[in-house]
A and B are shown apart, each in its own frame.
Chain A
Amino acid sequence: MTDYDVIVVGGGPAGSMAAYSAASKGAKTIMLEKDRDIGYPVRCGEAVSDTGLRQFVEPKPEWIAATIKKIRMRSPDNTIIDFKSLMAGYVLHRRIFDYALANRASQVGAEIQTRAYVDGLIVEDDIVKGVKYQYMGEKRTLKAKIVIAADGVESRIGRMAGIRTAIKLHDIESGYQVTVGNIDIDQEMIDFYVGKNWAPGGYLWVFPKGDRMANIGLGVVGSKAKDYNSHDLLHKFLKEHYPQAAMLTSVCGGVPVAHTLKQITGNGIMLTGDAARMVNPVSGGGIVSGMHGGKIAGEVAMEAIAVGDVSSKGLAEYPKRWRKAGGKNHEALHRISTSIKDITDDELNRIALRVSKIPREERSVLKIFTVVAKEKPKILLDVTRAFVGA
């Protein structure tokens, strides 16, 4: 006997999308979240593109802290490149957004339980049959036909099923972010700082949050994190650039900038979102990609249940559809991100100088890319290879 068709572990965007898509297809679904709140704490810069979001939900004004129209980038020697954003984008209030996604899942019948910490799987005959969890310290179990692990960067649920999810240091960014008040910035612009001065092997961001507020954060690539500490780098930046800023929130967070796991299914289990390493490895954006993964996972789960085959083989449509939906592109991005991490500050400065000489209205992705390729031919090679699939 099972209690549910689908148990989703983790109540982030990927989990809520998985719960929504499974429940709306008729699956008896429950989502378990370890924290007391859905959507909090927010360990995220909260930037998304309008088109990305719109694939899954109609953006609501109450989710949006700021609308992005311009992008600015700064090289290590302070050469500034700015351009109009090709796509409209937003900085969200993820606390409200994540809540709304979970609420939407509940509207189609998904049950949701917070303060439910999953600490084990029920496995019978090599098939995952449910979860062990603690609700306010009390041990409980729940059985289901399929468990969807959307447990974020930690990705321990997959490990419990024997899937290797541990992430290599060069594939994760060690991040620190503050939400600050009392600063004067252009509320329509997102601002990036690249180079090892600001964020070795990553970047520093200033994202507007409306009302003289901003999310200011940075990521240091794990392979350099032994020598650089993102907390200290961020405070150094704040002191130099925004000494008057008031600290409203400060959080740590890891961004997996890895290749999506080779294995995202097992018998009776599927991994999605950060847990499956679906983040865009160049931008570090994982809200939209997580929603995409969650949506597909929920759909395939219900289809597999309908035909009565929840084995890894029966779930094979999931990795197939993820690859088709963008997973292939994702592999290309991972290759690019790997070579970007090797760019030196000198190369970045030269790139920025060349780009800054292109008149602003002529700055296109292609033009900028040509400049990058001239300075760092290996990137062009990687991109070409990535797109021809060699």
Chain B
Amino acid sequence: MILVKDNRCDFCGTCVAVCPVDAIELREADISIIHDTCIDCDICIWICPIDVLSSDKGQGTSND
């Protein structure tokens, strides 16, 4: 499952652009993962310029 860190996201949409299954909902200042759609490919974690996203598989948390 993809986790979103609190108070970190800049709402830039880069993760949305790469998500292969359109599982990210993004508004002016609100982001959420549609967990039912997400296929846990993790590429949103890699592309985010500021490490907002992580996986509960224990990856992508390099900048904690």
Q: Which residue of B lies closest to A277 (CB)?
A: B17
Given contacts A166-B20, A166-B22, A222-B18, contact A153 B13 (CB under 8 A): yes
**Nearest chain-A residue to B16 (Cβ)?**
A154
Q: Does A43 contact B (CB under 8 A)?
A: yes
Q: How far is the CB of A252 from chain B (nearest CB, A)?
A: 4
Say yes or no: B49 contacts A230, CB within 8 Å: yes
- B14 in contact with A254 (CB, 8 Å): yes
Task: Scan residues 234-282 of chain A and give those whose CB is less than 8 A from a CB of chain B.
Answer: 251-254, 256
Residue pair B27, A229 in contact (C-beta under 8 Å): no
Tell me which of A35, A165, A225 contacts B47 (CB under 8 A).
A225
Interface centre among B13, B17, B19, B27, by most chain A C-beta atoms within 10 angstroms, is: B17
Residue among A155, A222, A232, A251 making CB contact with B10, cutoff 8 Å = A251
- Is there an interface contact between B62 and A222, defined as CB atoms closer than 8 Å? no
A209 nearest CB across to chain B (Å):
20
Contacts of B46 in A (CB 8 A): 169, 222, 225-226
| B38 contacts partner chain A, Cβ-Cβ < 8 Å | no
B47 / chain A contacts, CB cutoff of 8 Å: 169, 172, 174, 222, 225, 254
| CB atoms of A174 and B48 under 8 A apart | yes
In the complex, what distance in Å separates the CA atom of A168 from the CA atom of B48?
Answer: 14
Q: Using a CB-CB cutoff of 8 Å, which residues 117-169 of chain A contact chain B?
A: 117, 152-156, 159, 165-169
Closest to A159 in B: B22
- Could you say which interface size class chain A belongs to? 20 to 34
Q: What residues on B are CB-neighbors of A155 within 8 Å?
A: 17
Q: Is A207 an interface residue (CB 8 A)?
A: no
Residues in B whose Cβ lies below 8 Å from that of A169: 18, 43, 46-47
B13 in contact with A175 (CB, 8 Å): no
Within 9-58 of B, Cβ neighbours of A (below 8 Å) are at 10, 12-14, 16-20, 22, 26-28, 43, 46-51
Chain B interface residue number, banded: 20 to 34
Cross-chain contact A252 with B17 (CB below 8 angstroms): no
Interface residue A330 (Cβ < 8 Å from any Cβ of B): no
A212 contacts B by Cβ under 8 Å:
no
B63 part of interface (Cβ distance < 8 Å):
yes
Given A153-B13, A229-B62, A252 and B19 contact (CB-CB distance below 8 Å)? no
- Closest chain B residue, CB of each to CB of A234: B49
Question: Is A176's beta carbon under 8 Å from chain B?
Answer: yes
Query: Once the chains bind, are A172 and B28 in contact (CB under 8 Å)?
Result: no
Of B47, B49, B50, B62, most buried by chain A (CB within 10 Å of CB) is B49
A117-B18 in contact given A43-B12, A231-B49, A252-B49 (Cβ < 8 Å):
no
Which residue numbers of A lie inside 8 Å of B, CB to CB?
A: 34-36, 43, 115, 117, 152-156, 159, 165-169, 172, 174-176, 220, 222, 225-226, 229-232, 251-254, 256
Q: 17 other contacts beyond A34-B27, A220-B49, A222-B47, with CB at 8 A cut-off?
A: A152-B13, A153-B17, A154-B13, A154-B16, A156-B22, A169-B46, A172-B47, A174-B14, A175-B49, A176-B49, A222-B18, A229-B49, A229-B63, A251-B12, A253-B49, A254-B17, A254-B18
